[in-house]
Amino acid sequence: MEYRHALVRRPSPRMGEGLVTHIERSDDVDPDLAVRQWESYVEAFHRAGWTTDEVEPADELPDSVFVEDTMVVYGDLAVISRPGAAERRGETVAAEAAVAAHGYRIAHIEAPGTLDGGDVLKFGGRVWVGTGGRTNADGVAQLRALLAPLGAQVVGVPVRTVLHLKTAVTALPEGTVVGHRPLVDDPDVWAGHFLEVPEESGAHVVLLDGTTVLMAASAPRSAELFRSRGLDVVTVDISEFEKMEGCVTCLSVRLRSRPGSA
């Protein structure tokens, strides 16, 4: 059976104090609503047949709910990130413990390299890494060296208009890369495999299985576009996280390979 496990982390009551870079800070983040939305997000995984594990909460770290930024998982290897924002580097300790408990080998991005997991898009043996914001060239080089023995091709992609690469683009189950054109610096990176979506949050999908995507409720036209392509679409309201530049991808780490399995 396919291994379908996700690491998640409960939002901090201080989430509204987190970092924002490309949007105006909202003064009305509702921490109680954020918890309810997070619980609905987790439940969407459960309904799709996934198991979830909670990384130890970190109330003192406002951005800790965005657990995807703490690592890059490829095959049986978990590369623990070194976040580009120094304020977020404490988030990786408990996340590393959680993924190690699943039996993954552990490696680390070391100084002076920086890398956020949200800058990494993986599909079909290729790994695109956004550079220019939270992730630097040294971080990309270290990731390339760590993933090369696993056969991955790592490609750097400049990111200037959004926080992370996966704020701009993600991939559908068959490999088409989707993005909201005003926020994609260079769609020619995926020439012939790029699909423009009508809403910013329509660019963010989590693959639940080979025909099902999870996405934000704030992109109904994009959802209809995906349905017209034969996909099943699950939507969740993540409005409080969107106020902090969050999206459906950054709220979990998806584990799809069981370490040590054939």
Pick the catalytic residue from 5, 180, 247, 250.
Answer: 250
* Helix (H) / strand (E) containing 107: strand 105-108
**CB-CB contact of 8 with 58 (8 Å):** no
**CB-CB contact of 140 with 148 (8 Å):** no
Tell me the C-alpha to C-alpha distance, in Å, between residue 31 and each of 62, 67, 86, 248. 11, 17, 23, 17
**CB-CB contact of 31 with 62 (8 Å):** no
> Does the annotation mark 193 as catalytic?
no
* Helix (H) / strand (E) containing 144: helix 137-147
Buried b (16+ CB within 10 A) or exposed e, 176-187: bbbbbeebbbeb
d(CA 128, CA 154): 6
Pick the catalytic residue from 22, 108, 164, 193.
Answer: 164
3-class DSSP assignment, residue 208: strand
Which residues are within 8 A (CB) of 259 and not within 5 positions of it... i.e. 6 or more apart?
76, 102, 103, 104, 105
> Does the annotation mark 250 as catalytic?
yes
DSSP state of 242: H
d(CA 128, CA 140): 9
Active-site amino acid positions? 164, 250
